[in-house]
Structure 1
């Protein structure tokens, strides 16, 4: 009866000895150590195998032995697959830490910001200038991109990122439309987007957005021309800064965007409006204003009558003369 116990004890001791020896070998570097000298990025292309990744780690000098890394992974690693992407490796990481990072998919996130009111041609230029993105894209349709900061990974396709930006806009429009006020002057989400783009370009003062939205809503309801200067500029520059004063011939131009020569909304958005401008159009400030002019502080003076507006214009011109901007 004592012999089986002795045999069991011998087997248990042998297993413990093997485990201890493996730990000693693996931890002591006989099967390889991590040799990362400084914070460095490491890219795992899609479709990579653990064997190829181990080889790349050894070639880059991040581990001393690819075979040791693979053996450690088989003995002590989880069965989770490694993920593609760009990872950050640091000197304090062990081989086990490296494998865990690859399996968790904790990739380096990079960011691109699309500011409110950036037209699509400038969105296109910004994305094409980002060297870590890949693939060719056309200029996105105007108004289809929701301004925000978006995360991307090295090697990500530009078309995929644009699709994400457009999906975010579609989702926000649907949510905002569902919460719209009864007092809005537009009938469709598309019309709300077009008007929001005008509001976005007409004021850079956040607290004015609902006031400006209310003013243009009043003009739409009463059949007045919107007469928004940015709609004159858009067909000329596709939303880029004009860089000069608007010419009289451009004010008189007849096209699908110039709201000085047409009633109602332009044929499409003139920029990519942000959330606040869209929300302002869907919940405009109730008032009687139908005129506005710059007040010299970055904002506007609003009026309900032409007489009051003309007086405000006179004050604006006098201020510009004092600044030497006009004679």
Structure 2
């Protein structure tokens, strides 16, 4: 009798073990397999949320089939206590494992409504935008000048809402003075800016910030990134360039940035200036002259005068040989790369071609023909 009981108990134990093993294998496959979500969604995780509430929300929205499997998997992978608050994009078909990673890794939120402050060369814009998870594109809900007295109500509401996300987007080609002034005028940042950072040393990029972030700390973050970029490109520079230091590469990159807004032209423009430096020809570039007049404090807003082109100033590259003493703007990464890796050309001239780009030439005769075409096009447009 006891032998039968023991035998039955052993059989039952084996059955339980097999069933448990089967459940574990099934649960693991459910945790890592593609999920049931048919269309991407934005998942809001409020501060203080629990894994139970998040898994329930995911189940209601069709992102997970079994909330308990979601929680068990998060616990098994030691991420159950790492839940982060934010607004996160959950892509179509995301597995439980992928969703757990998204909501526990932290960092910048990837979805929902946000306030973006874009600092450009000629203007600054505050924008309230929202990501459409279905298309993966942002839709602008409000856009306005930060100095306007007529602030949209939506912006005011978001400013008063805890957890609102903010980004500062710095465009290529703005001067350090313009950037510092723009940061002084936005209301979601705090702290004083004691002095304007060195010209050229603020990296154009996309910066996630929090409400109340310190302005000086943000500027320091921009400087660190630019220093890293400059060091990186300098290490990969071409041999025998007519620039001897990273600082000179930064100056050249700033001129390239101001001379062309066409990405494909950067290395060609760089080649013109490198060829001129090699041959001892003056750079003769208007943006440096303009910087010498404005000191980077705003836009000139008019054409250059003959007297300004003739004046011998440190930034008048019609009058001086070589590079100006400092950068004339904050160049982006691609202009930095172009400065140390110019295209192999014989170009020594370029002029606007009327399409937003430039016509390049090897000789003065070719250049004069390009200039004549450009002036004819300007005259034609002026008569329209």
TM-score band, normalised by shorter chain = 0.5 to 0.7
Aligned to 1:111: 167
Q: CA RMSD for the aligned pairs? A: 3.0
**For the residues of structure 2 that align with 1:108 and 1:187, how far apart are their CA atoms?**
46
Deviations 1:276-314 (A, max 9, x none): 101001100011110111111111111111111111111
Aligned to 2:263: 206
> Given the alignment of the two structures, is residue 241 of structure 1 paired with residue 299 of structure 2, yes or no?
yes
> Given the alignment of the two structures, is residue 276 of structure 1 paired with residue 334 of structure 2, yes or no?
yes
Aligned to 2:33: none
> Given the alignment of the two structures, is residue 250 of structure 1 paired with residue 308 of structure 2, yes or no?
yes
SS of 1:323's partner is helix
Larger Rg: 1
Higher relative contact order (CA closer than 8 Å, sequence separation 6+): 1
Unaligned runs of 5+ in 1: 1-38, 43-79, 90-100
SS of 1:130's partner is coil
| Paired residues of 1:133 and 1:157 also in contact (CA < 8 A) | yes
**For the residues of structure 2 that align with 1:299 and 1:325, how far apart are their CA atoms?**
22
**For the residues of structure 2 that align with 1:225 and 1:325, how far apart are their CA atoms?**
34
Deviations 1:171-199 (A, max 9, x none): 11111111111153211100000000000
Tell me how far 1:41 sits from its aligned partner.
Answer: 9.4
SS of 2:264's partner is helix
| Paired residues of 1:184 and 1:281 also in contact (CA < 8 A) | no
Deviations 1:113-145 (A, max 9, x none): 110111111111221122111111122211010
Aligned to 1:160: 217
C-alpha change, 1:207 and 1:291, in structure 2 (3 Å) is: same
**For the residues of structure 2 that align with 1:262 and 1:130, how far apart are their CA atoms?**
39
Aligned to 1:127: 183
Please report the TM-score for the alignment, with normalisation by the length of structure 2.
Answer: 0.57
| Paired residues of 1:184 and 1:217 also in contact (CA < 8 A) | yes
Aligned to 1:61: none
Aligned to 2:365: 307
Deviations 1:254-277 (A, max 9, x none): 111110110000000000000010
1:73-84 maps to which residues of 2 (within 5 A)?
A: none
Larger proportion of helix: 1
| Paired residues of 1:225 and 1:264 also in contact (CA < 8 A) | yes
**For the residues of structure 1 that align with 2:276 and 2:107, how far apart are their CA atoms?**
53
Tell me how far 1:241 sits from its aligned partner.
Answer: 2.3
Aligned to 1:292: 350
Larger proportion of strand: 2
